[in-house]
Structure 1
């Protein structure tokens, strides 16, 4: 519940019109989510303006409207109307106010790759952990999906009800300043930067720009907090060195380590976790060296909060593969690696490594779409990708997208033959070609940026096989 005074205090807003209510329900940003008593925050986006839906919000039961421009009161009934300078900023301020009021331990995760997986792992561990002698089961809030931006993160914090003792948050960015603002909203006690790699270069310009932006987590955190530092990532290590507070490190030479990795096929990966002089054998249901790194990072974060290694093991072993994120399956005698959720150069490298490891001794086929949002580096990055595919000795490469010819050129320059590299017209076209040439025992990797929807190739392939 929100009082009128709480909203005014959190947002520094002014009342344009007093309605009947002084106590309101949940805060929402879409008129479709309004119920009786809701507070509707009218956000302005690139393709919509919440101010155009004020009437609809009131019709659905909104009792309070937060706006940044004076509305037409004609059809707004008896709703309280509060004006602020910027409704997006007000949403973040409301979330920060809620975070301070409930006062859970806040764990924040950012990075170019592995954010969502690491966040899910941390939450799974903490659900099975006890801190200061008290169980956290049912008392862990986490970012749902990848609601990690200036709208999604505040909406996550606004779900705090009062019983939660920990909030595990994912912080995403596509332009400078977003991580700093998200960190100020969340005010994390523990922060983790998973990696720094070329991603969102259209907004962040360069790898150094990505590092500066991700590094805002450590720079904007309270020095009394704890930084979880990945020693295996040169940029993340450097950013950790700049943090003045306490640190816990992970990686091959970190305080928390993953050793003796063993691939278990479609069942996942096994490794030994070491921390604080203890060891635990972990049977992870996820595949790939990068997911072991994610697991070790999650373990370090939870361990830094006070979770014991037994809880870490139980949590990590409970994490199931996520849809379109390195999801393994067998279909008609063919191995499938569906990693089509998103892509950048570093995650492409990780996926290709996994294909080579899983497909050892088998035919290995990569079905790749464009890596989007790479700005001026796009052409060069796709050329490098083609060379990388060739050097991994992938047997066939199917390509889709505007950058397909760049990838093909790189692959041919690095030694692949013309007949090994095929550029498709659309998802179904590629599926037909894959179906006609692929035999039982082969392994297929599907990967590309979200906008490429490479899972549609897999869907078409399965439809043809019915």
Structure 2
């Protein structure tokens, strides 16, 4: 179905169309262009999208946004990035969909995907979401520009690593429901303390539409700070958590062999669900999802069924069996990102897995001056998870290596290539291996090297 016509693109961006054309999608990475897509050629510090116009049209692009003349069907604008933002604004302005914004130090991508699955079960084919982790100054407008005009609900992830970034993004998204999943040490290199991180995440409420709902983690030590940030903008504030007093609360939660069973109280309703993912962090995510489902008036029972069917995401909990000499190992792929809170949460999951526990942990980045202490502090959750062999990747892991010396067997590798060689020697049939680290470490390549990506 047509997403944009060239006259609509020209009107949204203030550009001039070279011809009449229609597109069915939008991309700014030429490698992602598919048949019928609009290719947005942007100039950056490292490259210029105009160099890839021929490639995009060889892949059957339907048109392009350009700031330089071209012989391909296009809309000519002054600046490609500004045009993408304008198209995102236009995508938001034309929709009647209920819009949900999601942010948080941990769990935002997982919560976004779970929320999409929960809503899609109620209104199949009518829910739009940002894909991958397109949550920054380019990813958010791209996701808005991709939203079909017929969508009933849109779910958008928003991220930041500096104060003020979320304020800009949320005013573009203009959510009807805004969720903060959790506050934890992340990007601490750019913030004086965790309270400042909470303030930056609380900016999401500034974009709430009139009558909007703010969803806040009750168990967070920054709960009152987030509520104060929401109060000037939200008509309704809903809390979620494990403790008494939360509006959406887990009455009980227990680990199952293949996930987690939870009974939740949601206002006057009670719902028992099986969450396909293990760990109390997933209980928290599920509570936030159920709060949002209720806020937009969708079916809670169908949402519970969707949570039971939710598979692990690549890099965020996906599970694979990998062949090794004599049998198989279970690989838990958490390679996409890491901070102290998410490291502890996933190590707690590893603690209950079968077989010998092997942890491949990459360094955590953007932690600033406190980085050595944060890394050294991982020793206790590693030991609590009964990890028998550890593989530490990256120079910043040195304080952790020192903290583990003489306590468990470990190898400290300088990079992914060396780590993969060590891991292949380390694994034995029946092991469970957790792989987790900051995305920049590149542990996804280690997972692929093991055969963990199909």
- State the TM-score, normalized to the length of structure 1: 0.83
Specify which of 433, 437, 442 is matched with residue 444 of structure 1.
Answer: 433
- Between 1:205-214 and 1:35-44, the stretch displaced more is 35-44
- Give me the CA root mean square deviation: 3.2
Please list, as runs of the form range in 1=range in 2, the aligned pairs for 1:61-460 lying within 5 A after superposition: 65-67=65-67, 71=68, 73=69, 76=71, 79-83=74-78, 86-129=79-122, 136-204=123-191, 206-244=193-231, 245=234, 246-252=236-242, 253=244, 254-265=246-257, 267-329=258-320, 332=327, 334-358=329-353, 363-390=356-383, 394-412=387-405, 417=406, 420-427=409-416, 430=419, 442-457=431-446
Measured after TM superposition, the shift of residue 284 of structure 1 is 1.5
- Between 1:51-60 and 1:41-50, the stretch displaced more is 51-60
Measured after TM superposition, the shift of residue 436 of structure 1 is 5.4
Measured after TM superposition, the shift of residue 438 of structure 1 is 5.6
SS of equivalent residue, structure 2 residue 411: strand
Unaligned runs of 5+ in 1: 130-135
CA distance 1:37–1:397, change in 2 (3 Å): closer
CA contact 2:41–2:64 (8 Å) conserved in 1: no
Aligned counterparts of 1:62 and 1:223: Cα–Cα separation in 2? 37
Aligned counterparts of 1:95 and 1:142: Cα–Cα separation in 2? 13
Q: Deviations over 1:172-229 (max 9, x none)?
A: 2233332222211111110101011122334556434432321110123235211111
- Between 1:438-447 and 1:148-157, the stretch displaced more is 438-447
SS of equivalent residue, structure 1 residue 357: coil
Aligned counterparts of 2:316 and 2:75: Cα–Cα separation in 1? 44
- State the TM-score, normalized to the length of structure 2: 0.85
Counterpart residue number, 2:47? 48
CA contact 1:36–1:63 (8 Å) conserved in 2: no
CA contact 2:189–2:366 (8 Å) conserved in 1: yes
CA distance 1:438–1:227, change in 2 (3 Å): same
Aligned counterparts of 1:14 and 1:432: Cα–Cα separation in 2? 53
Unaligned runs of 5+ in 2: none
Counterpart residue number, 1:25? 23
CA distance 1:63–1:397, change in 2 (3 Å): closer
CA contact 2:199–2:229 (8 Å) conserved in 1: no
Larger radius of gyration: 1
Counterpart residue number, 1:133? none
